[in-house]
Structure 1
Amino acid sequence: MNLLIFGALAVFLPITSAQRGDSSAQRGCQPDVNFGRYCPTTCGVADYLFRYTPDVYDDLDDMLAKLESIGNLTQGAEEKVVFMRDRATSAHKSSQPDLYYKRSTSMLDDVTRFEKTILSQEQQIFELQNFVLANDRQMQELKQLTRQLEATCSVPCKDTVEIQPITGTDCQDIANKGASVSGLYYVKPAKATDQFLVYCEIDTFGRGFTVIQRRKGGLVDFNRNWIPYKEGFGYLSPDDSTDFWLGLEKMHLLTTSVTLPYVLRIEMVDWLGNKKYADYAMFRVGPEQDKYRLTYGYYFAGDAGDAFDGFDFGDDASDKAYTVHNGMQFSTPDNDNDKYDGNCALQDGSGWWMNRCHAGHLNGKYYPDGRYSEKDAGAFDNGIIWVTWHDRWYSLKETTMKIIPVSRINTDGQQQSGVKQFGGL
């Protein structure tokens, strides 16, 4: 029934109208194979509403007419019951209790049953009236949404997301060419056969960070197998509001196609809004043949501590050595390349550069409010953790991994002896 369709739309609208993505105005919505479909826009939803609105109005008018007819019949029946009850009472008072008296007694019983039936019907009518009122309220809300959509679509609709026109080998190259706005750009590293879309974070100092991972709201599931981690998943958005993993192959192409080494900057936010960061110089991701091995030269700077260097949890004398991440291959639940007898990625439900298993894990399970327990996680510290800041039973609220050539990391005048102030970003 059309009413049910509109009931579903009332829930669907806010989600659909917020979606964004990469498409072409001339060719319609063009989904990106790695980052999903972002159509329809609010205009598409408006067209859908306009197409179904007349049928819903007809249904409501028909229901109201039927309820009015039922109400008139019920009123006539009630008047008949009152008349019959009065006649029966008069017969009871008659001084000659004859055959007519007996008939009136039987009639009174019938009237009583009839009256109960009418009361039951009145209750059903009352419920139907409430249903109609509820639908009427919903229709008013939908009309308001329709007016809003009409205002939104008073100008020509665009099923497109703005992709900046400048291209380059990475985001710093794009910034060097004059780009000054953060957003979506196409890059083509020297070793890449095709260009691909990235989010570039360009600051007021002309630095162009290429973002390779983002966790902001926990809406994207990071429990994925090898192919999604290789190719990338999640959603790129021009306003930097979505979660994504750029893809190991793209990370490899970006970090091995340049003459200057990269710095990996990891930024983290906890559930109180506190921010910390960690920088790693000479960051590289190896080829797939080497299972996208993570390597870096040294811990460059930061106030979050060096979790990639391992951590002594106090459980075993080898804790620190077993949780070093430098030199580790990438593991997923279906492709185990860690140093553990078991499968760290399978236990934690996400891909990462695992050892036996980790001290810093930014692809872990998203736990709202941060705190979780061994019982919650099946005895595994599977949250979004960075143990040199918060302990392993605290899952961070937001994380960002982004890369930039080492020559550009200190151009804001704040860094001294390799120390970068995170607040300057």
Structure 2
Amino acid sequence: MVPSLLATAGGLLLLFSFSSAGQYCPTTCGVADYRWKYKEDVTRDLDHLQRELENIANLTHGAEIKIDYMKDSAVSAQKSSPQDSFYKKSSNILEDVLRFEKTIIAQEQQIYELQNLISSNERRMLELKQISMQLQQKCQEPCQDEVEIKPIAGTDCQDIANKGATSSGLYYVKPPKAPEQFLVYCEIDNFGRGFTVLQRRRDGSVDFNKNWIQYKEGFGYLSPDDTTEFWLGNEKMHLLTTSTTMPIVLRIEMKRAKVGSEDDQYRLTYGYYLSGDAGDAFDGYDFGDDPSDKVYTMHNGMQFSTFDRDNDRYDGNCAQQDGSGWWMNRCHAAHLNGKYYQGGRYTEKDAGEYGFDNGIIWVTWHNRWYSLKETTMKIIPLSRITAGGQQAGVKQFGGLGDA
């Protein structure tokens, strides 16, 4: 029997065959002879096998290197494959497109706003052109170097009307106790009555938050066409009301009034209430806040107060908190020098720091949160009130515009 051994290595079929040493039990020398007989073949085969094994080992190592290279190449290819690069570039392009779209939308919005601004500016330019044309036409008229002042003078506007003046305008007056004449606006009506205007509010163009000296001397602007705002001055009011009986006229309300001297802080005193449908706010008003409201808000006998000269009966300074000078009590029910509110109605929040009713107030006609749009204070001798009939004359006084 010849046993054999088959083995494979590196794809090679190796055959090992062994023949029987004999039918006898070999001696040591027999075994040695047997070995020496096959040693050369076996050694040759073993050398061949060794070389093949080395080749196999080399091939295996090369395969491992190749595999590692392929793995690295695969990872590298995965990282920088054309498809992946395409996706990345596509993604970047999409992001750029979105960003550009947002930029375009923002720019379109800016363009829309600029177009609106251009339209607004064009409208404004058209308005300015029209104004420019009007001014150009006006400038073509001969310039008037001086304000027209009427030639007639007198002790007051009624005296001027008695002397033949028939039109309203600027006149010089000199009351008996005045050291010199001064300019006033005279309102002369069809009945021949001459009203001397003490105060005019029209549009809020003049700030009435002034100090004591300014209220004493007067401020604002007198105009021949009676289109401006002014306060004639406490000293002039004192001179005009001292020498004769001069009712003070407020819209269609009249009181026989007098303004005292500066030594008495221009105290306001008045007698009876003659007529009117605006109510008698000078007599005080019950606001419902305190039982003494009416007493605390009446103005008869009150001295004049400004933010720098506090003559009221309040612990604080009414003129300061209300922002203008007036004959304050604690503080007022009538205040025609108050802050001008264009819309008329206002609130505590609008009133600012103090939050009090600081508008142009006449509470017996409108409440404390309504600021009158136009006011006039004017005086006339008592003897002229009933000219043309008492009620007829009263109804034509005018002065305070409706809301």
TM range (shorter): 0.5 to 0.7
Q: Counterpart of 1:299? A: 273
Task: Give a deviation string over 1:61-94, Cα, whole Å, max 9, x none.
Answer: xxxxxxxxxxxxxxxxxxxxxxxxxxxxxxxxxx
**SS at structure 1 position matched to 2:394:** coil
Does residue 1:180 correspond to 2:166, yes or no? yes
Offset of residue 152 of structure 1: 3.8
Q: Counterpart of 2:313? A: 339
Task: Find the aligned partners of 1:136 and 1:298 in 2 and give their Cα distance.
Answer: 59
Does residue 1:319 correspond to 2:293, yes or no? yes
Task: Give a deviation string over 1:12-52, Cα, whole Å, max 9, x none.
Answer: xxxxxxxxxxxxxxxxxxxxxxxxxxxxxxxxxxxxxxxxx
Task: Give a deviation string over 1:98-150, Cα, whole Å, max 9, x none.
Answer: xxxxxxxxxxxxxxxxxxxxxxxxxxxxxxxx9xxx99999999898777656
**SS at structure 2 position matched to 1:264:** strand
Offset of residue 299 of structure 1: 1.1
Q: Counterpart of 2:328? A: 354
Q: Counterpart of 1:371? A: 345
CA change 1:173–1:313 in 2 (3 A) is same
Task: Find the aligned partners of 1:159 and 1:135 in 2 and give their Cα distance.
Answer: 36
Does residue 1:164 correspond to 2:140, yes or no? no
Q: Counterpart of 1:257? A: 243
Task: Give a deviation string over 1:372-417, Cα, whole Å, max 9, x none.
Answer: 112221320111011111111111111000000000011122528x
Offset of residue 157 of structure 1: 2.1
Q: Counterpart of 2:201? A: 215
Task: Find the aligned partners of 2:312 and 2:124 in 1 and give their Cα distance.
Answer: 55
Task: Find the aligned partners of 1:232 and 1:386 in 2 and give their Cα distance.
Answer: 22
1:278 paired residue among 240, 243, 253: 253
TM-score, reference length from structure 2: 0.65
Q: Which amino acid aligns with 1:310?
A: G
Offset of residue 353 of structure 1: 0.1
Q: Which amino acid aligns with 1:311?
A: Y
Larger relative contact order (Cα-Cα within 8 Å, sequence gap ≥ 6): 1
What is the 5 A alignment of 1:38-77? none
Q: Counterpart of 1:23? A: none
Does residue 1:388 correspond to 2:364, yes or no? yes
Task: Find the aligned partners of 1:188 and 1:324 in 2 and give their Cα distance.
Answer: 32
**SS at structure 1 position matched to 2:241:** helix
Task: Find the aligned partners of 1:361 and 1:148 in 2 and give their Cα distance.
Answer: 38
Does residue 1:193 correspond to 2:179, yes or no? yes
CA change 1:251–1:141 in 2 (3 A) is closer
**SS at structure 2 position matched to 1:420:** helix
- Pairs aligned (count): 284
Offset of residue 421 of structure 1: 1.9
**SS at structure 2 position matched to 1:402:** strand
What is the 5 A alignment of 1:29-108? none
Does residue 1:230 correspond to 2:216, yes or no? yes
Q: Which amino acid aligns with 1:319?
A: D
Task: Give a deviation string over 1:128-183, Cα, whole Å, max 9, x none.
Answer: xx9xxx99999999898777656545554222221110000000000000000001
CA change 1:141–1:319 in 2 (3 A) is closer
Offset of residue 423 of structure 1: 6.8
**SS at structure 2 position matched to 1:296:** strand
Q: Which runs of 5+ in 2 are unaligned?
A: 1-114
Task: Find the aligned partners of 1:393 and 1:298 in 2 and give their Cα distance.
Answer: 28
What is the 5 A alignment of 1:404-415? 404-415=380-391
Offset of residue 420 of structure 1: 2.4
Task: Give a deviation string over 1:197-235, Cα, whole Å, max 9, x none.
Answer: 100000000000000000010110001110110000011
Task: Find the aligned partners of 1:175 and 1:372 in 2 and give their Cα distance.
Answer: 40
Task: Find the aligned partners of 2:357 and 2:259 in 1 and give their Cα distance.
Answer: 25
Q: Which amino acid aligns with 2:255?
A: Y
TM-score, reference length from structure 1: 0.62
**SS at structure 1 position matched to 2:274:** strand
Q: Which amino acid aligns with 1:186?
A: Y
Q: Counterpart of 1:287? A: 261
Select the structure of larger CA radius of gyration: 2
CA change 1:336–1:165 in 2 (3 A) is same
CA change 1:145–1:262 in 2 (3 A) is closer
2:228 paired residue among 237, 242, 255: 242
Q: Which runs of 5+ in 1 are unaligned?
A: 1-129, 268-276
Task: Find the aligned partners of 1:335 and 1:145 in 2 and give their Cα distance.
Answer: 44
Task: Find the aligned partners of 1:188 and 1:214 in 2 and give their Cα distance.
Answer: 21
Task: Give a deviation string over 1:234-264, Cα, whole Å, max 9, x none.
Answer: 1111111111000000000100123xx1111
Does residue 1:309 correspond to 2:283, yes or no? yes
Does residue 1:403 correspond to 2:379, yes or no? yes
